[in-house]
Structure 1
Amino acid sequence: MARGTCHNREKMSKEWFHFVILLHTFLQNFSLTSAIESHNQAFIQTDNHLTYIGDGRDFNGIPVEVIPGEPINLISRIEQENKDIFKSNTVKFEPSWLDFQQQPVGMPIMQQVLVQNTDTKNNLHLLSISGSTVHFHCSFFQEKMVPPGGNTTFDVVFLARQEGNVENTLYIHTSHGSFTFHVFGVGIPNPYRLRPYLGAKVPLNSSYSPLIKIHNPHGSTLQILEMFASEGDLHLELPTGDLDAPKNLWEIPPYETKAVMKANFVGRVVNNHTAFIRIKTNQEQRSHLLILPVEVEVSSSPGIYSPSEMIDFGIMRTLDDPATVQLKLMNTGSKPMHIVSVSVSPPNDAINIEFRPTKLQPDIVRHTTIAHVTFKASKALHPKQMLGKIIVKSKNGEQKIIIPYQATVYHGSLAYNANNTHFFSARDRWNYTRFMTFTNTFNFTVVVYNVSIPSLVKQYFSILNFTKPVSIESRQTLTAFLLKFHPNDTQLHFTTYLTLYTNASQFVIPIVVYNGLLQVIPHRPEKYKGQFDFGTMGMSETRCMTFTLRNDNPVDVKVRINASAEVHIGEITPDMNGTTVTFLGMEKGNGTMLTREHNTSDVDYNWLKISPYHFAVFSVNLTAPDYEGIFASDMLITTQFEDIWIPVTLRTSDGSLNTIPEKLIFERVFPGKNPYKVLQIYSSFRDFMEVTSVSFQPSDTRFYFEPPNNERILLEPFKNNIVGNIYFDSKRECKEDCYVGLQTNTPAGQQWLSGLGLDKEVADTDQYLFTRLQQKWDKLEKSEQNTANVTIEIDTSEVRGFLFSAQSHLHWPSLFRKQKIKFPLTQIGNTSVSDFIVENPGNVPVLIQILPLSLYPNPQTIIELLSQRYDLLDLEQYNPNPQNPVPGFRKHIESTLGVKPHKHSITTVLQPGVKVKVRVGFQPRDDISRTSLILIRNNLTIIDAIVVQGQGGRGK
């Protein structure tokens, strides 16, 4: 069985042994040579020579040869070899160069080179072969000494480690001189979707454990026969960690991908380790070996480490949903590490990083998620966008880690007619059979090897005429199978899916079974389900009630309303004539309330079409009769699928209710400021009423009602009655993730607090936090969600559905009352003084730090020049008065929050509603007009600023 041969090295094939013998020979002997250290280099040994191929630091680019036991002068040897190259024409190579053409990554190919000694008198001694490449490998010479006119051979193996062109030069060192031999190759994607595992770095005594997944590109089952590794510290384990595996673990069905093994490397020795994983399958041929290089650096240095050497988003199609991967790190140091930035290089629109500055605690066992990296295939329009680097930086540049990422994006899809997957479930049971025809828009053949539907819906659907597998060539249109709908019930309504298993991953095709019925959703609580109850109304009072018709069907539903916009009333009573229904608008989604005002002037009321998966909002406008009584009627809504009858009821009484004011408006609010309005109601009804409920339509947690006390709320006739307070608190929706406001006890807040000392990283932190908040605010503005509208509905013991409106306007707050200070013309050398007010406009404390721009780290040079003329005159260096409160402000921050603010800044906590007057001085040194900024760092908006302008003058 496969598991029995997992580590069986006795069964290595000749090809595998031939390929790795060079590496094993080196590993056994290199420990005796202390002159050269290994670090991701290539070594080739023949005869008694050990050639070290460096990274470009060798003398004149010529490989250095070390001959054990024979002292030599390296410099003179290299100079002599330089003279010998190309000097002799007594050696001939056949072929004269090698081109391996296109070869899959991880699948080596070997070619033989013939060496001929054309000298008629002298023997040819073959000394060594060297070269600075990890893609090409050479064998020993078959014969070390070639007689005059004789020949011998050696083998060259091309093992592509990456996609793209590879070319290099091999140096053949002989007794007749040194000769160059050029080799070429092109790495292409591995058909089994395997890749080398290169660049991993792990701390000492920890492990690196990549999961090995293999894709079967063949039309028959791929059987993994055995897997083994060439390095003692690299062990192969089952993906589950079990000792035994089921028989089918290493059986991969056609075109499927399966995890077959986990490689586990344990870093016991500080060094750079290289190993190979050999995979043997039942499809193996001489030209189809599977060999995966594994390179791991083991380090004893404390710092941050990643468990993965690469972020691989796998295979994606253009229309796929974005793929998100957690970025995890480990801190092996003794102190917490402040992670200040996670960025992508080069910039890539297809990559989105969700990150906030955080503190990575020391932990040598567990990894911590610090960011989420998302790849959007729809934005990857260029091959360069499919790979790059994620760069993680810590505070003050102490640590930096670079993690490559890659994605494989297939541009195209399997296009089909969506109407073929929509099935109408009528009043009678009808059977349908649909041709499932697909057009392949990929640039390669798509093989459909299986089709499935969920077991719960097999009673309704069957797949017919599917013959495995079905191949659809590029740009070809083909019917793959038939889909039969055979319902066992009527008027079904549900959504399911059909899954296509292909060599281009899985395709999920939605299937919709619909009945054409609309959902009627009133916007106020129903006293009786399915009934529009207007409650008690004043005589001749006009009132409206809004409701929604939601179309959850994949087809248009037509709603009939007559041309005069009068509602169809069955058994109409004369007293309710003139009741109308008005169309307010239609939007996409499963909502109930409109998000904006719509233009409905050109609406055709004869047949109003509600689009698939849209909702339409209507208003029933009713004027009560001019006498007291109880009234009832029916409203009729007609569609092509059904007739909807809705009872309409009301009661009239002499009187009315009115709010004071008529509309509640909350201006200039933001998270951290929760204003309230006192709600008063005037009642002209003759009887006392008790308020039974106050509700908001649509439901919006930001609006809420608080009664004045726990007693009953009574409305006294002919009097302004205080019902309670209506509040608006936007933080109830956004919680701790609002467009303004930063809690100092969060990781991001701690990072911001550490910037009070104005270290060099403060600009990066402020920029990230400010940009993040601004993006949230911009998103609110663009989506027009910066204005909130609700209808407040009050029910009493007598009147139901008394409605009035409330509105709130969100804005971006500022701590300054004025945005600009302009100093008068000031004589050079003199000082002009002005002041400004800093005010906390919210209901929670705000920590502020005021400083001139010249004190802020890393401003542009020109801004530094402009800002040199302004000073904060309340600093102790300008105001040494013992009564100056500024030093005490800083000491309070240091004692309570544990951070030391910069001594040339003004730092304090502003309590809600508190104002602080700050003086600023202008001392010109020339007569040039100057403009600069006074900054205020704060945990509300992160950065705020006031413009200061001044000009010096010369006295006459």
Structure 2
Amino acid sequence: MASRKRTVRVFSLLVMILQLEVQVRSQQQPQQDHSTSGGEQLNFGVGGGGAQDMFTSATQDLMDEMFQRGEGVIQRGAGVEKTSPELVGNLLFQPSLLDFVERSIGDPHNQVVILINRHKSRSVVLGSISGSTPDFYSSYFKEIVIPPEGNTSFNVVFLPRQLGATAGSIEIHTSFGLLQYQVKGEGIECPYRLRPLVGLQAPLNATLTPEISLYNPHDTALQIVEIYSSGGNFQLELPSGAQEGPQALWEIPPHTTRSVIRVRFHGKTAGNHTAYVRIKISGGSEEPTLVDKMLVVPIEIEIFKHTGLYSRTPFLDLGIGGMKENVTKLSINLTNSGDTQFSIRRWGAHLSDMELIKATKVQVFHPAQFRHVLNIEIDWTKVVSDRKNISGEFFVGYEEYEGLRDESSYHYHRIPFYGQVLKGKLNYDADVLRFLTSGEASEQNLQTPRLLVIRNKFHVPLSISNISVPENCSRNFRVEGFRPKIIQPDQEETLLRMSRLLTDNLNRSIATYIRLMTNVTEYDLPVYSYTGKLKRILPFSTTTFRPPSDYEALDLDERELNFGILPIATIGETLVAFFNENPVEIAIRH
């Protein structure tokens, strides 16, 4: 509470300083204000309908104050006079229209607006402020008086919540009447891949635990300086559930995504609940433009009056898909927030077009009585259009157990989702990871390191942050020379060197892999060691079926064809089959 009071005092002091500054300026330049409209005389770096961005610590405190108030700015003024067009015409905004142009989701932008009173003899009293859209926030006036031919300022913050254009208005109640100030902006993709947690719904007594992930788009490590929530009912905890973590947890390597915080909310009361999670990041000395940069994630949750089924993860971030042979599979446990048992009657997905409908499969699984699991599968190979993202919501419809199956009595739980579509692939020569141990292969050739070269066929940088080598790979192969790499689009880099160890199993087939951790997905590159020899199967029967395991276990590799005793001029026939016990295809050329 004391911290809250200190913040309010700082905000009040800032407003008083701004008032004093603009009043002194209006007294020092009365003649200039007389002869012009007032807009061109104030040099605030305004041009083209936009205002100059301010990123000082004072304005960050002001933004914090506005975010902490949440919907507090959406209130109507009382005791203002009826709008007088003649008097309102004396009030002028600079700029006349506030255009934030393109701003990324989760990245708030604060701009200063000047309000000028051109009346020569009457002061104007500013009342409350109200906004028409939650994407725009304004600092709050408390009976600020603008003297004749004076001016004052207020701040407007644009925090995009969705892609595309957004427009609205800021209404200011004054003693001259009601003023409307037009604001607009356009939300674009967040380079840090933050997603607003808005439009979430859950039944009464539900406990929601959404996680916030952050992607580092820079070529250097990103440091998380501070994270806090504005709402007292929204508790922050580490994704692991622990209260403290190592320093490395707060550092995100280049081009890597990491879950940084979990928000825990318990829906004790029905209604709408809002909060903001602020994440302060820094790029260190190598990124001087990223000194205490602030990112904001808005949270809006509606709690129903009834108990019911819900998912503790109220929003699904599907990450990046669209690569060849890439399928996302999710299993979501549904929790009951009350004592009444429910039966699920309907389930599915609300999607925007037929392409997504074909790519998505939703099923409900019941591993035990009154236990419900929502299984979701998205086949990215069926997303063939040039779209950059997919979105929609999964849903389940349920009613009380042994109910009348009346759809009008169904309750619905909806889980919104979002995913990015990234076309492209990672290219490499698969033969580099295939080791033939017989024939022309020599021990020297097997021990000669091979270079694994990776080519990036995506349109974004490919960051390979780490590799994982399982035990059966490290026991038979030498992997060396790996360093984290950032490969630009359509470029290639040597990732590592690899050779075969001369173990006692050179005559055996080995199938293993090397796992690459990248900013796109995890890749398992197959690694094989094999003799290339085929096993002859004599005699071979087309009527008696044998599974492949029988051919591996039995010694059927006969070296002679025995036709027995045949009469003269009789053609003897038999079938010869070859069993391939190698982990790769073998071509028979002669």
Q: TM-score, normalised by structure 1?
A: 0.47
Alpha-carbon distance in 2 for matches of 1:585, 1:237: 60
Equivalenced residue count is 507
Aligned 8 A contact 2:108 2:158 in 1: yes
Per the alignment, residue 826 of structure 1 pairs with none
User: Equivalent of 2:509, from 463, 487, 493?
Assistant: 493
SS in structure 2 of the partner of residue 342 of structure 1 = strand
Per the alignment, residue 721 of structure 1 pairs with none
Q: Once the 2 structures are TM-superposed, how far is the Cα of residue 572 of structure 1 from its aligned partner?
A: 6.8
Q: Are 1:349 and 2:365 counterparts? A: no
SS in structure 2 of the partner of residue 386 of structure 1 = strand
Per the alignment, residue 396 of structure 1 pairs with 406
Aligned 8 A contact 1:313 1:325 in 2: no
Aligned 8 A contact 1:198 1:309 in 2: no
User: Equivalent of 1:502, from 491, 507, 518?
Assistant: 518
Alpha-carbon distance in 1 for matches of 2:140, 2:365: 55
Superposed, 1:449-528 pairs within 5 Å as 449-458=465-474, 460-463=476-479, 468-473=484-489, 476-489=490-503, 490-519=506-535
Per the alignment, residue 326 of structure 2 pairs with 321
Q: Once the 2 structures are TM-superposed, how far is the Cα of residue 112 of structure 1 from its aligned partner?
A: 0.9
Q: Once the 2 structures are TM-superposed, how far is the Cα of residue 134 of structure 1 from its aligned partner?
A: 0.7
Alpha-carbon distance in 2 for matches of 1:339, 1:467: 50
Aligned 8 A contact 2:204 2:337 in 1: no
Identity %: 26
Greater alpha carbon shift after TM alignment, 270-279 vs 131-140: 270-279
Q: Once the 2 structures are TM-superposed, how far is the Cα of residue 184 of structure 1 from its aligned partner?
A: 2.0
Alpha-carbon distance in 2 for matches of 1:10, 1:143: 21
Distance change >3 Å, CA 235–CA 420, structure 1 → 2: same
Alpha-carbon distance in 2 for matches of 1:519, 1:573: 23
Aligned 8 A contact 1:470 1:480 in 2: no
Alpha-carbon distance in 2 for matches of 1:273, 1:571: 85
Q: Are 1:378 and 2:390 counterparts? A: no
Alpha-carbon distance in 2 for matches of 1:533, 1:497: 34
Superposed, 1:169-568 pairs within 5 Å as 169-283=169-283, 285=290, 288-332=293-337, 335-346=340-351, 348-355=357-364, 361=370, 368-382=371-385, 383=387, 386-394=390-398, 395-397=405-407, 398=409, 399-426=411-438, 428-429=442-443, 430-431=445-446, 432-458=448-474, 460-463=476-479, 468-473=484-489, 476-489=490-503, 490-519=506-535
User: Aligned letter for 1:20?
Assistant: D
Q: Once the 2 structures are TM-superposed, how far is the Cα of residue 310 of structure 1 from its aligned partner?
A: 2.2
Q: Once the 2 structures are TM-superposed, how far is the Cα of residue 462 of structure 1 from its aligned partner?
A: 4.4
Q: Once the 2 structures are TM-superposed, how far is the Cα of residue 211 of structure 1 from its aligned partner?
A: 2.5
Q: Once the 2 structures are TM-superposed, how far is the Cα of residue 208 of structure 1 from its aligned partner?
A: 1.5
Distance change >3 Å, CA 357–CA 385, structure 1 → 2: farther
Per the alignment, residue 151 of structure 2 pairs with 151
Alpha-carbon distance in 1 for matches of 2:197, 2:237: 16
User: Aligned letter for 2:107?
Assistant: M
Aligned 8 A contact 1:158 1:185 in 2: yes
Alpha-carbon distance in 1 for matches of 2:225, 2:326: 36
Alpha-carbon distance in 2 for matches of 1:491, 1:353: 46
Q: Extract unaligned runs of 5+ from structure 2.
A: 11-56, 284-288, 399-404, 552-557
Superposed, 1:830-869 pairs within 5 Å as none
Q: Once the 2 structures are TM-superposed, how far is the Cα of residue 226 of structure 1 from its aligned partner?
A: 2.7
Aligned 8 A contact 2:389 2:420 in 1: no
Aligned 8 A contact 2:528 2:583 in 1: no
Alpha-carbon distance in 1 for matches of 2:189, 2:540: 68
Q: Once the 2 structures are TM-superposed, how far is the Cα of residue 334 of structure 1 from its aligned partner?
A: 5.5
Q: Are 1:160 and 2:160 counterparts? A: yes
Q: Extract unaligned runs of 5+ from structure 1.
A: 1-6, 27-41, 45-50, 53-64, 362-367, 523-530, 535-542, 553-566, 591-609, 616-638, 642-956
User: Aligned letter for 1:305?
Assistant: Y
Aligned 8 A contact 1:380 1:386 in 2: no
**Deviation string for 1:884-942 (max 9, x for gaps)?**
xxxxxxxxxxxxxxxxxxxxxxxxxxxxxxxxxxxxxxxxxxxxxxxxxxxxxxxxxxx
Alpha-carbon distance in 1 for matches of 2:418, 2:211: 16
SS in structure 2 of the partner of residue 412 of structure 1 = coil
Q: Which has the higher contact order (CA 8 A, sep 6+)?
A: 2
Aligned 8 A contact 2:203 2:309 in 1: no
User: Aligned letter for 1:581?
Assistant: T
Aligned 8 A contact 2:104 2:187 in 1: yes
SS in structure 2 of the partner of residue 121 of structure 1 = coil
* Root mean square deviation of aligned Cα: 4.0
Distance change >3 Å, CA 501–CA 161, structure 1 → 2: same
Decide which structure has the larger Cα Rg and report it: 1
Q: Once the 2 structures are TM-superposed, how far is the Cα of residue 229 of structure 1 from its aligned partner?
A: 1.6
Per the alignment, residue 581 of structure 1 pairs with 574
Q: Once the 2 structures are TM-superposed, how far is the Cα of residue 466 of structure 1 from its aligned partner?
A: 5.0
**Deviation string for 1:580-602 (max 9, x for gaps)?**
2347999xx99xxxxxxxxxxxx
Distance change >3 Å, CA 152–CA 510, structure 1 → 2: same
Alpha-carbon distance in 2 for matches of 1:375, 1:117: 58
Aligned 8 A contact 1:337 1:360 in 2: no
**Deviation string for 1:20-59 (max 9, x for gaps)?**
3245457xxxxxxxxxxxxxxx441xxxxxx53xxxxxxx
Aligned 8 A contact 2:348 2:363 in 1: no
Per the alignment, residue 18 of structure 1 pairs with 62
Q: Once the 2 structures are TM-superposed, how far is the Cα of residue 93 of structure 1 from its aligned partner?
A: 1.9
**Deviation string for 1:47-80 (max 9, x for gaps)?**
xxxx53xxxxxxxxxxxx242xx5x9xxxx7xx4
Aligned 8 A contact 2:388 2:421 in 1: no
Per the alignment, residue 678 of structure 1 pairs with none
Alpha-carbon distance in 1 for matches of 2:306, 2:543: 73
Alpha-carbon distance in 2 for matches of 1:9, 1:286: 27
Superposed, 1:755-904 pairs within 5 Å as none
Per the alignment, residue 36 of structure 2 pairs with none
Alpha-carbon distance in 1 for matches of 2:205, 2:564: 88
Aligned 8 A contact 1:339 1:357 in 2: no
**Deviation string for 1:832-857 (max 9, x for gaps)?**
xxxxxxxxxxxxxxxxxxxxxxxxxx
Alpha-carbon distance in 1 for matches of 2:578, 2:477: 37
Q: Once the 2 structures are TM-superposed, how far is the Cα of residue 273 of structure 1 from its aligned partner?
A: 1.5
**Deviation string for 1:508-549 (max 9, x for gaps)?**
2222222112255x7xxxxxxxx7599xxxxxxxx9767788
Alpha-carbon distance in 1 for matches of 2:470, 2:165: 46
Aligned 8 A contact 2:463 2:485 in 1: yes
User: Aligned letter for 2:406?
Assistant: N
Alpha-carbon distance in 2 for matches of 1:425, 1:441: 32
Aligned 8 A contact 1:201 1:306 in 2: no
Aligned 8 A contact 2:452 2:498 in 1: no
Q: Once the 2 structures are TM-superposed, how far is the Cα of residue 351 of structure 1 from its aligned partner?
A: 0.6
Alpha-carbon distance in 2 for matches of 1:329, 1:349: 25
Distance change >3 Å, CA 454–CA 109, structure 1 → 2: same
Aligned 8 A contact 2:204 2:307 in 1: no
**Deviation string for 1:530-576 (max 9, x for gaps)?**
x7599xxxxxxxx97677889x9xxxxxxxxxxxxxx9846875459
Alpha-carbon distance in 1 for matches of 2:291, 2:115: 24
Q: Once the 2 structures are TM-superposed, how far is the Cα of residue 438 of structure 1 from its aligned partner?
A: 3.5
Q: TM-score, normalised by structure 2?
A: 0.74
Alpha-carbon distance in 2 for matches of 1:578, 1:224: 82
Per the alignment, residue 528 of structure 1 pairs with none
